[in-house]
Structure formats: C-alpha cells, structure tokens
Structure 1
Amino acid sequence: MFRLYALKYAELTGRKRSDVFLTADPHDGHIDMAYYIWVAVRDDGEAVVIDTGFTPETAAKRGRVFLEHPTQLFARIDVDPTKVRNVIVTHLHYDHAGNFSLFPNARFHIQDDEMAFATGRDMGHPALRAPFEVEDVVEMVRAVYGERVIFHNGDASPMPGIELFKVGGHSRGLQFVRVATARGPVVVASDAAHYYESFEEDRLFGIVDSLGAMVTGFRRLREIGGEASRIVPGHDPEVLLRYPAPREKDDGFVAALHLPPSR
C-alpha cells in the first residue's frame, strides 16, 4: 500500500477553452491549468515518483507561473529525491520530464514507443516536437547510456502496488499509472486525461499524436480506474479542491490522493 500525493508546482491561468480542447467553442470561456508531480510513498518510506515537472528556466521560456520548486514540495511530504530509486515517466513532454538531475540514484521507467517517438523522425516536424524540450530528451538518452532506464513495451507491473498502462494518444508512448492505496487502487491519469471532463465527456485535448488512441485511452481509464473518484486527471486545478491537504500549510500545493475525495 502507498500514500499517494499530487504536488502542484506551477500553473497557467486564463487560457481560452478553444485553445485547450479541439471540440470547444471559442465562446466557451476560459480554463486554468495546474502542473503536478505525483509521489507514491510506502510505509517504510520508499518513494516512487511519477513524472518530474519542468524547471524554473523552462517555466520562464514557456510563460508558465512557477509556484514552488519540486525540492521544496518533496520536503513537504518528507521525501528526499536523492534517495528515490524509481521514477515513472508517463511521457517526455516538457512539463513531465524535466528535473532529472534531482534523482541521481533513480532508474527511469518509460515506454519503448515514447523514447523512439521523442528521438525519431517525427521530431523533424515543429508541430510534433513543440511539447518536447530537447535538453530533457538528451538527459534521458544519457540515462539510457548510463544503464538507468527500464523500458516497457505495453502494460507492466514494475513493482508490487504499481501498474503501468500504455495508451498513447496525446504522445506516442503515453502511459498512466495505477497505485495501490488504503482506499483501493487510484489511477494517476497524467495526460491520458488532462481534466475530469476529459474522460467524463471525451473532451479531446489540442496536442495529439493519435485521435483514435486518445479516445480509446479515455475508455481504458474508465475501465481500469472504475468510478471517477479513483481517477486523478493530470492538469485539473479541481484536484486540490476535491482532495485534502496533509496539513493546513500544504493547502494549495499538496493533495493526499490516498484519502477519499470530498466529491
């Protein structure tokens, strides 16, 4: 069993819904985006990190508001990133695959197809490489050469209580994660569903590798996760409103996903 946390490190506010969803009407108003890192912690203190966020430099480059450095967020839940041994990279987009240097003793779990996608011929097209930061991808290549990457080809169970499910769609090798917690299995959707409405209403996100894989991914999320209270979307600010903070001073930064949501 794990305690499972969402750590909010950055945000982007006031985007038009039509800039986010392919099927949104330009008159539908605005929507905010939260950026999270997720951490699963066993009772013995062993921590598994799910995605690693972006750096302050990338935030400035891409016009995102950087709220708190991941090292400070890890300290809020008593996790030392230098002692983390396993990091799951759901995909290599810039907001999920920076800060690798914070985890000098970790092995990185990634799908074969994601690594091939991020280093192959498709990156010759500006529209396809836009969500990637080349230096992050190069860091992952260095980790491969350092024998620190564990590749998966489809669904996998890399350790007890942690399951990976490959869906693609948003990125070629996108995977989501199911974590065993005291309230039952909880699915960290990452970008298999950016918002609750993504998987509840099949809302198509604007950055897409395969539309068919994206909508099939929504279906898999519902099949694997079950009820919505066990599925945690990747960028919805609502997550911090539905789940309690571990401590009052963590409100707005940390959500305890192993506890039942308020709604």
Structure 2
Amino acid sequence: MSTWEAYAIRYGRHDRPAQTNFLLPLDDPHEAMPLDYYIWLLRGPGGHEIVVDTGFDAELAAKRGRRLSRSVADSLRAMGTDPAKVRDVIVTHLHYDHAGSIDLFTGARIHIQDREMAFATGRHMCTACIRLPFEADHVVSMVRALFADKVQFHDGEGEVAPGVTVHRVGGHSDGLQVVRVQTARGPVVIASDALHFYANEKRGNPFPILFDLGAMTQGWRIARRLAGGDESAVIPGHDPEVRARFPAVPGQEGEVVALHLPPLR
C-alpha cells in the first residue's frame, strides 16, 4: 500500500463569534471562535503531489470580508510545490473557499463528485440562501475545465491514486466529498466541510450552512469509520485547533502542520 505525507496549509482567517459556527443556540454565543481557511497538500511515491481544495484569492477575500495570510500560490511555493506542476486537484465541494483558485492548476486533473457539479449548476441555485456560499465565476471555471477535458467525475467512492480515495458524504453541500489518505500512521481523513470544527461533532451541533442535516450528521460517522475509528485521524476543515494538535513544519511560521505525523496531543 502506498503511503503519503499530508499537510494542512492555512492561508486565511475570519474572526467571528462562536454562534456563527453552530446551528443550535449556545450558552455563550458571543465567545470568540475564529475560523481558519486551509488547503491540503499530499505527497506520495515518485513525487506525485495532490492538492485538496484551491482556496480563494485577495479579491474574493475583500468581497467577503475575510483575511488572507498569504495567497494559495505563495503558500504552495513556500512548500516547494509549483501549482502548474500539480498532477491532481481534489475539489471537495464548490463553495467559494474551496474552489476559488482552480485556474492556478493548469496541468492538473480535477476530481469532483457528479452530484456537486449537478448541484452547483441546477435548480437549487435559484434559491439565494443555498447559492450564497457559491461564486458563479468559480463554477464557470469548473465548466471550462470540463470542456478542456480536465475533470474526473466520481460517483460516491473513487480512487485518485493508490492510497488516496474520495467518498461522497453530502450534508453541507449535496456533493461534498471527504478524502482518505494512507499515511505512515494509518489512514487520515481530510473531512473538509463535513466537519468544520472538532466541536461540531463533539457537541452534536452542526455548522449552520447545510443542505441536508441528516447527511451532515451521518458524514461525521462516515469520516470516523474511514479513519478506522481514530478520532485524531479525522481532520476538520476550518478549526484553528488543527494547528495546535499536529507538528508544525519548520520554516512555515506555524501556517503548515504535518497530518501524517502522530498528533502532539
């Protein structure tokens, strides 16, 4: 079985009160609970590199009131990765913070679920509150990639490379997929927005942007199963705690942590 290195790379942040991260009311809704924005870099045999999600740029950050620490391109280059030479990109779903820089990856095949593409271009986008996390330009970039023969669709479960698989869970977005990566410490599941914060599952209180509540809560269970029951191997999509739980990569000023290494706690 091929084993991979897996890195969480923070590229942005949003300071916000805790209540914005939970569906059900909190005892202290005004407690500070910032949200981090990540992409993930996978490195495997033969120099094969896979990027999970593509983030957003400075223009979109200004539009949405978010803060970038550095661009996605610069974040990858700081890790010695040239976006133009990445072979595969996995888009977990098409929300603005996960699919905003697709055009950087000129040489990559893009992996997405059938249902996410259909969702982002179908009747549900006629409803303003459902389409709010999407940007039309990002969806158009995916359509252009499709017509350039650069898209690989998956229906449920699929293999991107030996040791790297995708699994549709839905919930937050209809075609949301999680990524299972074989590492030296066992399988690691990049949950993306199937689990924004560790606390969403721990408290049984979901993130409030969702399409199917039942699918979202089942997605927590699916991610745990794919990780072999190891809670430390399920990686939330936006939790600053990820950077405290895993070893920092030297020279990255705390912005990158190694998920393939044993957690610090």
Q: Same fold (TM over 0.5)?
A: yes
Further displaced range: 88-97 or 65-74: 65-74
Contact in 1 for aligned 2:56/2:72 (Cα 8 Å)? no
Q: TM-score, normalised by structure 2?
A: 0.96
Equivalent-residue separation in structure 2 for 1:105 and 1:200 (angstroms): 39
- Pair 1:233-2:231 in alignment: no
Partner of 1:133: 135
Contact in 1 for aligned 2:187/2:226 (Cα 8 Å)? no
Q: How does 1:209-248 map to 2 (within 5 A)?
A: 209-225=211-227, 226-247=229-250
Equivalent-residue separation in structure 2 for 1:200 and 1:44 (angstroms): 38
Letter in 2 for 1:24: P
What displacement does 1:200 show?
2.8
Equivalent-residue separation in structure 1 for 2:190 and 2:88 (angstroms): 16
CA displacement, residues 86-124 of structure 1 (integer Å, 9 cap, x when unaligned): 100000000000111110011110001100010011111
Partner of 1:25: 26
Equivalent-residue separation in structure 2 for 1:158 and 1:40 (angstroms): 12
What displacement does 1:76 show?
2.3
What displacement does 1:46 show?
1.3
Equivalent-residue separation in structure 2 for 1:148 and 1:26 (angstroms): 48
Runs (5+) with no aligned partner, structure 2: none
- The CA RMSD measured in Å over matched residues stands at 1.1
Alignment match of 1:66 (pick from 62, 65, 68): 68
Partner of 2:260: 258
Contact in 1 for aligned 2:169/2:194 (Cα 8 Å)? yes
Runs (5+) with no aligned partner, structure 1: none
Identity %: 49
Equivalent-residue separation in structure 2 for 1:78 and 1:158 (angstroms): 22
Q: How does 1:1-263 map to 2 (within 5 A)?
A: 1-13=3-15, 15-25=16-26, 27-28=28-29, 29-225=31-227, 226-247=229-250, 249-263=251-265
Number of matched pairs:
261
What displacement does 1:251 show?
3.1
Q: TM-score, normalised by structure 1?
A: 0.96
Letter in 2 for 1:209: F
Local SS of the residue matching 2:46 = coil
Letter in 1 for 2:230: E
What displacement does 1:167 show?
0.5
